[in-house]
Amino acid sequence: MTNPNDPIPPNQTYSNSSPSSNQFTTYAPLVQSFVKQYSCSYFLHHSDSTSLVLVSDLLTKSNYSSWSQSMTLSFTVKNKMGFIDGTLPKPIGDLQNSWIICNSVVTTWIFNALSKKIAASVNFSDSTREIWLDLQQRYQSKKYPCIFQFHRELSNLVQDQLSVIAYFTKLKTAWNELASYQPICSCGRCTCGGVKELLDYFQIEHVMEFLMGLNNSFSQIRTCLLLTGPEPTIQ
């Protein structure tokens, strides 16, 4: 039995801290190592293969806005936006080979997210940045036909044989697509309340579009909602 008065061996220390604190101290270097890896744009996880598909809907001639938003979100999660927006140019020196490898991987991710005809048109580009700009210049400029198409879809969309939930889902999808083409204020300094009033007005428009497309069996409920004050939100 150990005598409490005996000196503490040099390789052994006693602490009054809880087991959870000891565990944190033990795993802290490991956590820091993971954070350091993922914060580096040249880091590639074992799942980051060249066959990875980042988005469910491939780029076509009519969905560039929603496609680019989804791709940008995916690249941000992967910490690879520097290869897309040009903030991580090809270096000279020890990191050049790592840059080439990562650039090639990101390029394959873009190819995997394109329809076959579009992929063939950018197959010989030198860098991910060039491909991204090429696609942006070709398809972002076609927003007015897309806006027209979404407005026409909304004007013709009715419940018909759909359930209320399915009907609302189709409406919500069209609203989201249309919203991706609308200008937004990104300065963060709007204090006059005008933006909120504009958003509230869009909510009223959404409510009206939803009610207009409902089947006649909901006419009584629709009338009650229209007479309700304050106006109901789309939620």
pLDDT digits (tens, 9 = 90+) for 174-191: 888 787 777 665 555 555
3-state DSSP assignment of residue 59: strand
Residue range(s) defining the domain that contains residue 117: 64-142
> Between the CA of residue 85 and those of 55, 79, 89, 123, 133, what are the distances in Å?
19, 12, 9, 19, 9
Residue 112 and residue 175 in one domain? no
Q: Would you say 225 and 211 are in contact if contact means Cβ atoms under 8 Å apart?
A: yes
What does the pLDDT look like over 68-112, one tens digit per residue?
889 999 999 999 999 999 899 998 888 899 999 999 999 999 999
Residue 135 and residue 72 in one domain? yes
Taking the C-alpha atoms of 211, 212, 215 and 217 in order, what is their torsion angle to the nearest 10 degrees?
A: 60
Is the residue at 205 inside a domain?
yes
DSSP 173: H
Is the residue at 82 inside a domain?
yes
For residue 77, what are its two tokens? 């999660």
b/e map of 77-106 (b: 16 or more CB within 10 Å)? ebebbbbbeeebeeeeeeeeeebeebbebb
3-state DSSP assignment of residue 114: strand
Residue 128 and residue 162 in one domain? no
What does the pLDDT look like over 56-78, one tens digit per residue?
889 988 788 889 889 999 999 99
Is the residue at 213 inside a domain?
yes
Is the residue at 235 inside a domain?
no
Residue 130 and residue 167 in one domain? no
pLDDT, averaged across the chain = 80
Residue 182 and residue 126 in one domain? no
Residue 77 and residue 125 in one domain? yes
pLDDT at 215: 93
> 171, 198, 176, 175: which is closest to 185 by C-alpha?
198
- Number of Cβ atoms within 10 Å of the Cβ of 29: 9
User: Considering 86, 114, 142, which residue would you say is the last residue of a domain?
Assistant: 142
Residue 108 and residue 71 in one domain? yes
Taking the C-alpha atoms of 107, 111, 117 and 118 in order, what is their torsion angle to the nearest 10 degrees?
A: -50
Q: How many domains does the chain have?
A: 2
User: Considering 108, 142, 176, which residue would you say is the last residue of a domain?
Assistant: 142
For residue 186, what are its two tokens? 């990104």
CA 51/CA 204 separation, integer angstroms = 44
Residue 125 and residue 164 in one domain? no
Is the residue at 191 inside a domain?
yes
Higher pLDDT, 190 or 2: 190
Residue 68 and residue 126 in one domain? yes
pLDDT at 194: 63
Confidence label for 120 from pLDDT (cuts 50, 70 and 90)? confident
Is the residue at 24 inside a domain?
no
User: Considering 142, 173, 204, which residue would you say is the last residue of a domain?
Assistant: 142
Is the residue at 183 inside a domain?
yes
Residue 69 and residue 125 in one domain? yes
CA 191/CA 173 separation, integer angstroms = 30
Residue 85 and residue 130 in one domain? yes
